[in-house]
Amino acid sequence: MTRRVAILISGRGSNMASLIEAAQAADFPAEIALVLSNRPDAEGLERAKAVGIATLAIDHKAFPDRESFDRALDAALGGHDIAFICLAGFMRVLSDWFVQRWAGRLVNIHPSLLPLYRGTRTHRRALADGVLVHGCTVHFVVPELDAGPIIAQAVVPVVPADTEESLATRVIVQEHRLYPQALRMICDGTARLENGRVVFSRGWDASGTLYSPADAERNELQ
């Protein structure tokens, strides 16, 4: 069964592009049915249009408060018969009303190994702390920011010469691998939210690509 998925963006949309590309595979359990942005000038909208995906801009500035914007968002998603939502660089905090309405069907990608470094400037903060591993996380969205149950993570080693930019460059490569894998798991029912925890319907190999797509890169760096 192919699930109809919406991707919500605010900017360049590189994760969006990786999801669109992955969903083109014949056996992928999701179809990217809509790309929606709260910023009409988001670069990602043009990228999605160019490959024939339906796009929509709902400018949050046109709404008096957070929830009225979220209600317009919800109506648009309903109109496109959307089953799951992927946040991909969507820079708006969603209301509790919206998050609860889409509970278990709303996921996000975050550029850190949560629960470390919620919020912004994750690469800079990781470098400042001197951590040796960093990475990215796909998680179900809950009202508390970047705090939802974890579906998949990829580990990226931090090397002494790293700058914020070099680390960001290696993390985004892993984001582009991880998000499609996680979306596949959600849409085929391998990972689902139950009582606030992620339940996996089949085991998976912790040394395999799902757990750490960075393994190959790490080995090269050693």
Write out the binding residues.
13-15, 66, 108
Strand ordering across the sheet containing 3-9: 55-57, 30-37, 3-9, 84-87, 106-110, 133-140, 150-157
Closest approach of ligand GRF to the CB of residue 12, in Å: 4
**Beta-ladder partners of 57:** 37
- In this structure, which amino acid lies at residue 188? D
Asked if 109 is part of the footprint of ligand GRF (rule: CB under 6 A), the reply reads yes
Judged by CB under 6 A, the residue of 89, 148, 157, 213 near ligand GRF is 89
Taking the C-alpha atoms of residue 214 and residue 207, their distance in angstroms, rounded to an integer, is: 11
151 binds ligand GRF (CB under 6 A): no
**Nearer to ligand GRF among residue 68 and residue 120 (C-beta):** 120
CB of 113 to ligand GRF, least distance (A): 12
Has 110 been annotated as catalytic? yes
Residue from 3, 5, 6, 13 touching ligand GRF (CB under 6 A): that is 13
Residue 108 C-beta: closest distance to ligand GRF, Å: 7
Instruction: State how far the alpha carbon of 201 is from the alpha carbons of 131, 186, 191, in Å.
Output: 33, 10, 6
- Is 12 a binding residue for ligand GRF by CB under 6 A? The answer is yes
Q: How many residues bind ligand GRF (CB under 6 A)?
A: 14
Asked whether position 112 contacts ligand GRF by CB under 6 A, the answer is no
Q: How far is it, in rounded angstroms, from Cα 145 to Cα 138?
A: 13
The catalytic position among 110, 123, 134, 176 is 110
Window of 11-19, 53-61, 64-72, 202-210 that interacts with ligand GRF by CB under 6 A: 11-19
Contacts of 193 (CB under 8 A, 6+ apart): 103, 104, 140, 149, 199
**Residue (95 or 112) nearer to ligand GRF, CB:** 112
Q: Which residues are catalytic?
A: 110
